[in-house]
Copies of this chain bind each other. A is one copy, B any other.
Amino acid sequence: MAEMCVGIDLGGTFIKFVATDRQGNASEILALPTPTDGGADGLVEQMAAGARKIIDTAGLSSEQVLGVGVGSPGPLDLKAGIVIASPNISGMVNVPLRDMVSDLLALPVALENDANAAAYGEYIAGAGKDADDLVVLTLGTGVGGGVVIGGEVLHGAHEIGAELGHMILVPDGEPCGCGQRGCVEQYCSAKFMADRTMARMTAEKPPTALRAIFDTKGSIDSKDINEARAGGDAFAAEVWDATARHLAMACVSLTRIFDPDKIVLTGGMAKAGSDLIDPVRAHFADLHWAMTEIKTEVAIADLGSDAGAIGAAGVAWHQFGS
C-alpha cells in the first residue's frame, strides 16, 4: 500500500497543497486562495478542504496518509503548535494551528516555520537533494533563511534561529525594521535593492534607463534593474553587481560557519537565474579564503515557490514516517 504525507504551505495570497511519497516524489501542486475574511476558522477550513482534495485526487484512503505538515509564516511556538502572529495573514494571532488542522482532518499534523519548510523542500527534493548540509537564502521582500544540518532543520534554543537575513553585514549600516543596523536583508533583498536604487536616483540623479520606468510605474523593482543592466545601463549594472557582492559576502560567512555542501538562493530575486548566480559566484570566489579550495557550491533553487509545500510534506515524513 502506497503511503503519502500531505504538505500545506500557508501564504498570504495562496495556500499550496501537495502529497509526497517516502522518496519525496510529489503530486501536482494545488493552490487555493487564502481566505481573508473568515479569521482563523476560515483559514483552517480552507486548509482542510485543500488537503482532502489532494488526498482524493491522489486516490488515497485516509489510512494511507501518515500525516500532514504545515509551513506557516511566524513567529511560531513550534513545541505548542501555535502561530503567535503572522502579519500578512488576517486572524492569525495566537492560533493553535497544528491542533485545529489535526482535529478537522483527523490526522497527525506537524508545524514548521515557512522558511524552514522551503529549505527542507530543497533539501529532500530540490537543489539540495544530494547535500548533507544545506543553507537556503530566500530573497524576497526581506531575506529569509533555512539551514539543514545532517537532515535536521536548525531551529535554535528558542526557535528563532536561522534568521540569516538579520546577520549584521555592514557595521552601523542601514537601519533595519528589526531594530538592528546593517542586516543582510538591507543589502540583499529584492525590495531593499529597489528602494536603495530609487533613493540613489533621487539623490544622485545618475543617467539611467530606470528613470523612464520609474516615471511610468511610480516605482521600480529588482526585475527592472536586471533588465536595464542587461540592456547596457551602467547605473543598473553597478546596483545589481553591488547586491551580488553583498550576497557573496554573506555566503562566505555562512560557508565559514556551516561549511555546507550548498548554499541555495530562492525567492523572487532568484528568478533572475544565471544573471544573479554568475556574479554571486564570481564575487564568492574572489572573497573566499585561500586556506582551502572552494567546497561549497552556491546555486539557484530548483523548486521555486513549490518548495514550501513539498518541504512541509517532508517535515511530516520526518516526524510520522519512521
Contact = CB atoms under 8 A, between A and B. Distances in A.
Interface of A: 75, 131-133, 147, 149, 154-164, 166-171, 176, 178-181, 246, 249, 252-253, 256-261, 287-292, 295-296
Nearest to A135: B257
Contact of A163 (B156, B160, B257): B257
Contacts of A258: 154, 156, 161
Contacts of A176: 289
Given A179-B291, A287-B168, A154 B149 contact: yes
A246 to B, nearest CB: 8
A156 B259 contact: yes
B178 A289 contact: yes
28 contacts: A132-B157, A133-B156, A133-B161, A147-B257, A149-B149, A154-B258, A156-B260, A157-B261, A158-B292, A158-B295, A159-B259, A160-B259, A160-B291, A160-B295, A161-B256, A161-B257, A161-B258, A162-B257, A162-B259, A164-B256, A168-B253, A168-B287, A170-B171, A171-B246, A176-B289, A178-B290, A179-B290, A253-B253
Contact of A169 (B171, B181, B257): B171
A290 B179 CA distance: 5
Nearest to A261: B157
A143 B301 CA distance: 33
Contact of A253 (B167, B260, B290, B291): B167
Nearest to A287: B180
* Assembly stoichiometry (copies): 2
A256 to B, nearest CB: 4
A157 B260 contact: yes
Contacts of A147: 257
A294 B258 CA distance: 23
B260 A166 contact: no
**Closest 6 A/B residue pairs (Cβ):** A156-B259, A179-B290, A161-B259, A178-B289, A167-B253, A133-B157
A129 B45 CA distance: 45
A162 to B, nearest CB: 7
A171 B252 CA distance: 11
B149 A179 contact: no
Given A149-B154, A180-B252, A289 B166 contact: yes
A133 B258 CA distance: 15
Given A179-B289, A179-B290, A289-B179, A164 B257 contact: yes
Contacts of A179: 288-291
Nearest to A180: B289
Nearest to A166: B256
Contacts of A161: 133, 256-259
A134 B231 CA distance: 49
A31 B296 CA distance: 39
Given A168-B287, A257-B257, 7 more contacts: A133-B157, A149-B149, A157-B296, A158-B259, A158-B295, A163-B259, A171-B249
A317 B258 CA distance: 25
